[in-house]
Amino acid sequence: MKGLFLGLTTIDIQYIIDQFPAPDSNVKSPGAPDILVGGPATNAAVTYSHLGGRAHLVSAFGQNAFNPFLQEELRKFNIEHRDLAAYLEEKPVIASVVTTSDNGDRTIFTNQPADYDISFDSRGLMEENQFDFVLLDGFYMQKAHEVACEAGRRDIPVNIPEHACG
């Protein structure tokens, strides 16, 4: 089965620390941070691919220093990708994740992604691929709406988070 995943991709930089710091303090992580590909739609695509499914991700990477890393990660997970910001010089969405080693509490610092007003051929994408389902994560709502409408015309099930519907 082939799934279409549309939404956010982040660069996750995760630090594991013993305990959260007091205000105005400097904490050193016992080890180097993990640098991972993340974001709700991307994580879902990676999981689906890992479980044996065929995943196609529509997300925005843009042209930046992290683009080669993102491309390599998707190749590693055998995920097809269409970049909503392929020709734009864009800063990536970075999530700095701080997690405690004792109980797994975490704090995440991130930025809001831009909403791209780019011509997107959802009909062509659906015709090129025979998707069995569509997962939308609530980001890039204009594109998500186009894809959801096209999927509906084709009787393809669409999963969208409740918060995305207002």
Digit-coded pLDDT (tens) for 19-65: 888 889 888 888 899 999 999 999 999 999 999 999 999 999 989 99
Digit-coded pLDDT (tens) for 77-123: 999 999 998 888 888 999 998 888 888 888 899 988 877 766 778 89
Q: How far is CA 45 from the centre of its chain?
A: 8
Residue-level length of the chain: 166
Q: How wide is the angle at C-alpha 129 spanned by C-alphas 127 and 131, nearest 5°?
A: 110
Over residues 145-156, the mean pLDDT reads: 92
pTM for this model (two decimals): 0.89
Tokens of 14: 């995760």
Whether 46 maps to a domain, the answer reads yes
Q: In which band, very low, low, confident or very high, does the pLDDT at 162 lie, cut at 50, 70 and 90? A: low
C-alpha–C-alpha distance, residues 153 and 85, integer Å: 26
> Which structural domain range is residue 115 located in?
2-158
Whether 165 maps to a domain, the answer reads no
Backbone angles phi, psi at 120, to 5 degrees: -135, 120
Whether 128 maps to a domain, the answer reads yes
C-alpha–C-alpha distance, residues 87 and 109, integer Å: 27
Whether 149 maps to a domain, the answer reads yes
**What per-residue confidence (pLDDT) applies to 166?**
53
Q: In which band, very low, low, confident or very high, does the pLDDT at 159 lie, cut at 50, 70 and 90? A: confident
Q: What is the DSSP string of 89-116?
A: B-PPPEEEEEEETTT--EEEE--PPP--
Whether 151 maps to a domain, the answer reads yes
Whether 163 maps to a domain, the answer reads no
Q: In which band, very low, low, confident or very high, does the pLDDT at 164 lie, cut at 50, 70 and 90? A: low
**What per-residue confidence (pLDDT) applies to 131?**
96
Whether 82 maps to a domain, the answer reads yes
Over residues 62-79, the mean pLDDT reads: 94
**What per-residue confidence (pLDDT) applies to 163?**
59
CB < 8 Å & 24+ apart, contacts of 42-47 = 42/5, 42/7, 42/8, 42/9, 42/10, 44/5, 44/135, 44/137, 45/3, 45/5, 45/77, 45/79, 46/77, 46/79
How many domains are there within the chain?
1
Whether 166 maps to a domain, the answer reads no
pLDDT at residue 147 is higher than 80:
yes
Q: What is the CATH number of the domain that holds 135?
A: 3.40.1190.20
